[in-house]
Structure 1
Amino acid sequence: MDAELARRAPKVVLHDHLDGGLRVTTVLELADRIGHPLPTDDEAGLRAWFFQGGRGADLPRYLEAFDQTVALLQDRDAIRRVAREFAEDLSADGIVHGEVRYAPELSTTGGLSYDEVLESILAGFEEGPADVEVRLIVCALRHLPNAPDAFAAATRFADAGVVAIDLAGPEDGFPAADHAAAIEVAREAGFGVTLHAGEAFGLPSISDALDQGATRLGHGVRIVDDLDADDQPGPVASRVLTGGVALEVCPTSNVHTGVSADVASHPIERLRRAGFAVTLNTDNRLMSDVTLTSEAIACRDAFGWTLDDLETVTATAVEAAFLDDAGREALRDRVSRGFAALRP
């Protein structure tokens, strides 16, 4: 599996943040338009500034970069453009189904309503290439009290491309249970539930997410703490395994936030061998300078992944995607046929 073969493979991404996937050229143009000061006006220099591999491996420093991108997502035209380009970039990477997440409250400082933010994102996705299906996951920030408003807004776009809700932000000290009522409203409205858990904080955040009905875990890699030396699961890991809860694993991002020293020591392959529903994701393509193709190649280099392994994690992502039965069957068929076409 070389990079070109991995790029051509029909892939599925389930964990990708809108505000973490802007093009550097777009950052420069939008900042110039509104007079927003950047760390540098040089394209190469700005790309290097955003790249987290050189800025220290911890989550707070990782999140500093988002102050720059979010500042540019405060008007409808900018949001729509970024969403359209996001879809274009997914398509160029061979992705056929993408579930992209964003917290609309981040774009309200300029006066936009939650509905206007969501309308703009969805309009941008709609303008993207026809060969990629892009859906929106509405985030709320777990350390702030706005989940009821964010998830209520999501319900007004249930038939327009919003498929699920999420909680992002600091895990330690801000349990998902604090937002139980808002999550329940979203579940009753038919939305999927994926919650960030098991990234910067350990098993308690995973148990908390499961208690709130999460069927996918954003990152979730700290579940490895509940495996013994023979990879036998403890009580929390058993809940994830028996429930078929999918892990949205983002190896390079985890290196940059200090979860793992490098990809070679990342637990993704151990979790696969232990039977977890592992999916491969990018998290923030700008900050980690990755694509889903480059993540696949990183796993090839670290663990010997082949095209068969990429197809396996993609098939897992198909089953975990927030789709109805007809949509899942169509995606399942497209992925299967696409991988078959890559083989002699």
Structure 2
Amino acid sequence: MKSDEKIKLGISIGDLNGIGGEIVLKTFEDSRMLDFCTPVIFASVKTLNFYKKHFDLSLNFQGIDDASQAIDGKVNVVNVWKENVLINFGEEDPKIGKYAFRSLEAATAALKTNAIDVLVTAPINKQTIQSDSFKFPGHTDYLAKELKGDSLMLMITDTLRVGLLTDHVPLKDITQVITPELIEKKISIIKKTLQQDFRIAKPKIAVLGINPHSGDSGLIGQEDETILKPTLQKIREKGDLVYGPYAADSFFGTKSYQNFDAIIASYHDQGLIPFKTLSFGHGVNYTAGLNKVRTSPDHGTAFEIAGKNCASINSFKEAVFKAIEIYNTRAEFTKLTSNPLKKQGKKI
């Protein structure tokens, strides 16, 4: 937990033709945000001045060459590029995708060297960012590789946490990907995350079934009976509070999720559809399982409204606050567990 200086909050700018620039700058146009962190945006002053003029904003930037030069009380911009960039809001453009990757690459490098403390990523376009250097379905897998960790996509609000056994996996491949080893690994990640990042000493976790009605005792697929149920039983025998599999179709409608600290869905839409229905615009995508903190808003590039001066900053602002909160909570957890005799002081 930092006490002598504010957290350096790194920001990758995302796809320049989307709403990333708008939500980032509008968030920090409120000077009160600088009381909570020192923002470091990886882009260029020229590009951000374009957004500033287009959206008629009043904030000023501090251009720097390296994140280590960031000045407290300023909106710092690392000049990852210095040339002018042609921005056409709402268009898919591989040239723009290259700038999205350059921003992410520079921000990740700064995160790895502790030049920034946390990373908040603005939305990318997953097609245009693809290149020889970026062959991933999204941020999560790229960061897992760069930070050499096992990641888990965890969607969070103050009252709801939904993690995924499989994230960007085609539906036809789900049953081949879900194995006892994967289930045990993902549950281990989410358990550790809830303990160190959310102050939940003995987390209670629900797991959603793979098939409709969790297979109806084998009538609708065997995977729940042969893979999921025995693996969860094995985990419970170790003392972990892991329950399921639950039928996904009624789990959220009956508010059963309120009885658990986290829910693990078997695949992407099974978890994200109910999560976004309940919390869209206020949720945060958190990459659990890494040795660094990364968050992002719960939405994409929103090309359909890009440049129209109407994008909501709520989810991005929540991502900023969650990154700060998780960083401090993890630092406190590390301090306490490294010296278990030391009593816990004032809560963050």
What TM-score range do you get, normalising by the shorter chain? 0.3 to 0.5
TM-score (norm 2): 0.33
Pick the structure with greater CA Rg: 2
| Larger helix share, 1 or 2 | 1
TM-score (norm 1): 0.33
